[in-house]
Chains A and B, each alone.
Chain A
């Protein structure tokens, strides 16, 4: 299985349905996209996943930081 959003191959199971064998929730360990197996194809299949929502390595690297991390205060002012 590969991630529908970033095509990475490292996908793990995050949850199984309380009623056995109905669905599973998967999570991509690279872009952290999370989906349930019973969702529509546009959310679960790499071929059908909308181009606009695909996530590349550059998207991850360049994502703005919210909020930015402040400089550490000197030890004596903490």
Chain B
């Protein structure tokens, strides 16, 4: 059954032994972040973490790392916990093809239980906020979905955007929000600011995992995250109407913050330890004024630790980045077989493709760089043949080592766009990009000596089955 809220997902994690309850008293800092950081350093299959005994708080409840392992990711999309990564991505692709699935509008959202307005708002009264990394400028909300609309087309449901953007709590009702220029909210903000208008937003905290995954998925500008959420969870996604903005928000969220990004205002924000494994540096960032808060009684604060990869954010963004890139490339080039863009939100991508003619593979690589997501990411592409699995790094390294002659296989593009957070970009936001063509050249590109590849023997398949059976039999006898 798909989850209508965070609590249902936490129950499922608990039932499958993937929720670890920390009962001893912890300090908000550094314990919560350090424990979540540690989930990425204890091997595969790390559980989600639950804290409800935090020094100085009375009713605080914090959930971390809910999607922070392949097991948890599988449970988040309602698959058996032991499903291999490649099968999780294949299923994600299959479900994507059902897009769009119309959402279901529901009444009586649980977050309507309590509300507070205007100057009576103090986010510190409602949420057990805490710091993640030493150099962070403050306490962040880093797993919230922000909903905004196109100011020039506010009734267009598809253009309504749901995205995860970092939010620094900078006052009792003030936030800093990072709209990466390549992301859809930056388009909405630009349109509002060139008209001198504030941009209304709704921020949803403590969400079901499907909308969290969608918030991290680079959909096309006019594709609805709610309609894709329905496809991914194989059931209409439940939404409700936010009381102040009238925006569509998840029915099951713990907390809804509504307000505006103030027009043409910037203020010092950060730094923040980012998904690149580096701090962002201080930025003059947008300012959000919160005008209304609606929340469940004793809401659960969900957050994620991010820092030196891999951390939860890499599991969260991994498949969610591979699938749209694959779908967007496949739509134009059916030769594309698979896309592995799991490294640092797709700053590096590995793409396998058949070749129509010489030079084809690198053209596909260039196209990946001009997809909506590619404009701000996809700094490096490794192109591999159709029989190389881009998720099998042994095979990819073989292709790189045997198929690449730097004399003709490196395509370097100067001064391309990338998100400013890329620590190698200089100036921030500008970088050269690189295609490494590790495919076998085909005519009329006749470079190299690739006419005699060694292939698996015809009888090998039969022996794979035989050896597998014999090994299983031997293991059984030993028991």
Contact = CB atoms under 8 A, between A and B. Distances in A.
A65 B279 CA distance: 16
Contacts of A70: 190, 193-194
Nearest to A69: B264
Interface string A32-52: 111110111011000000101
Contacts of B179: 66-67
A63 B282 contact: yes
Contact of A32 (B55, B122, B138, B186): B138
Contacts, number: 122
B194 A64 contact: no
Of the listed residues A35, A40, A63, the one surrounded by the most CB atoms of chain B closer than 10 A to its CB is A63
Given A14-B171, A34-B138, A38-B56, 19 more contacts: A14-B124, A17-B56, A23-B56, A32-B170, A33-B137, A34-B169, A35-B131, A35-B138, A38-B29, A38-B55, A40-B29, A53-B135, A64-B284, A65-B283, A66-B420, A67-B189, A69-B266, A72-B195, A73-B195
Of the listed residues B28, B180, B428, the one surrounded by the most CB atoms of chain A closer than 10 A to its CB is B28
Interface residues of A, number: 38
Contacts of B59: 18
Q: Is the interface of A mostly helix, strand, loop or mixed?
A: loop
Given A63-B281, A63-B284, A22 B55 contact: yes
B466 interface: no
Q: Interface size class for chain B?
A: 35 or more
B179 to A, nearest CB: 6
Given A14-B171, A60-B268, A52 B131 contact: no
Contacts of A63: 268, 281-284
Contacts of B131: 34-36, 39, 43
Interface of A: 5, 14-15, 17-19, 22-23, 25, 27, 31-36, 38-40, 42-43, 50, 52-53, 55, 59-60, 63-67, 69-73, 78
Contact of A18 (B57, B129, B169, B195): B57
A14 B172 contact: yes
A66 B137 contact: no
B282 A55 contact: yes
B154 interface: no
A32 B137 contact: yes
B448 to A, nearest CB: 44
Q: Is the interface of B mostly helix, strand, loop or mixed?
A: loop
Nearest to A73: B194
B169 A43 contact: no
A19 B60 CA distance: 11
Nearest to B28: A36
Contacts of B217: none
Of the listed residues B124, B125, B279, the one surrounded by the most CB atoms of chain A closer than 10 A to its CB is B124
Contact of A43 (B56, B124, B134, B271): B134
Nearest to B57: A18
Contacts of B279: 53
A25 B189 CA distance: 31
Nearest to B169: A34
A55 B271 CA distance: 10
Given A32-B170, A32-B268, A66 B284 contact: yes
A72 B349 CA distance: 38
Contacts of B210: none
B173 to A, nearest CB: 11
Interface in B173-208: 178-181, 186, 189-190, 193-196
Contacts of A42: 134
Nearest to A25: B124
A11 B28 CA distance: 21
A64 B283 contact: yes
Nearest to A66: B283
Contacts of A52: 135
Nearest to B170: A32
Interface string B268-302: 11010000000101111110000000000000000
A72 B263 CA distance: 11
Contacts of B57: 17-19
22 contacts: A5-B137, A14-B171, A22-B55, A23-B55, A25-B139, A27-B138, A31-B137, A32-B268, A33-B137, A35-B131, A36-B28, A36-B131, A38-B27, A38-B56, A53-B271, A55-B282, A64-B428, A65-B266, A66-B178, A67-B286, A70-B194, A78-B194
Of the listed residues A15, A17, A31, A66, the one surrounded by the most CB atoms of chain B closer than 10 A to its CB is A66
